[in-house]
Structure 1
């Protein structure tokens, strides 16, 4: 559980990176609510914490698939899609009830879309990890964080 110790101690840096990373989230296919879901499924680890020069923060995205169904629900509830029953059905593939039934039966065409979205989420999460490491290095905290990750 030493990983959680170091991540708990960098809350300020995380908040600063969150602020700066908003532009990349806006440029992605994710809403801020969806990005929040991504971040709940991502865990950050430090590879090679014994050597701060070789160490790097990596995003463990192995749990992303667990939030993908909720991300799709969030997308379908998005006000951009016309909001509410009978709204614009030309949004992000929102087919309403029929689409939900097809997805539940595994017949929906969104499987590839989910995989593509999951890959985008993993790529963005790793970009976030790199920005976080840059922030820690620029603050002079990287060596201390690596030391915390080792213990």
Structure 2
């Protein structure tokens, strides 16, 4: 599988990034945390040589490397260092951050929850990217480039 297809989708990724902003806002991740997720996630095309089954998938195997920084960003925002958190009302983000800062939270459990949500969002992003490419009539060209055709 070649990475040339990723050059083809740069514009589509920018469009999906804009469309996906609302989904990120609806999650417990801050924009800074989502940015870290996107640096760790790589996108691949699974079954690129099979037009019927080819699909974009998120490789989240490197998320574990950014989880500590994601927790730090969460803690800094909970303590007021990040200029406020847009998602303060969602699934315990600020409360979890305050508990963690006071040593009352479990980092391991928080890491698992954070990783699970980041993985889910990355998977949704991959689906949104593929849907965008299909809607724009570019999916077949991208799939072929990934297959090396």
Q: Give yes or no for the alignment of 1:130 onto 2:134.
A: no
Contact persistence 2:74–2:97 (CA under 8 A):
no
Q: Say if 1:50 and 1:147, in contact at 8 Å, map to a contact too.
A: yes
Cross-structure match for 1:32: 31
**Structure 1 runs of 4+ with >4 Å offset:** none
1:1-150 counterparts in 2 under 5 A?
A: 2=2, 4-78=3-77, 80-83=78-81, 91-94=95-98, 96=101, 99=103, 109-150=106-147
Give me the TM-score of the superposition, normalised by structure 1.
Answer: 0.82
* Structure 1: stretches of 5+ with no match in the other structure: 85-89, 103-107
Deviation at 1:91, TM superposition (A): 4.2
| Higher Rg of the two aligned structures | 1
- Secondary structure in structure 1 of the residue aligned to 2:51: coil
Where 1:118 maps in the other structure, the secondary structure is: helix
Query: For structure 2, which runs of at least 5 residues remain unmatched after alignment?
Result: 83-93
Q: Output the TM-score relative to the length of structure 2.
A: 0.83
Deviation at 1:83, TM superposition (A): 3.3
Partner of 2:57, secondary structure, is strand
Number of aligned pairs?
A: 136
Alignment RMSD, CA only? Answer: 2.0
How far the C-alpha of 1:76 sits from its partner, in A, is 1.3
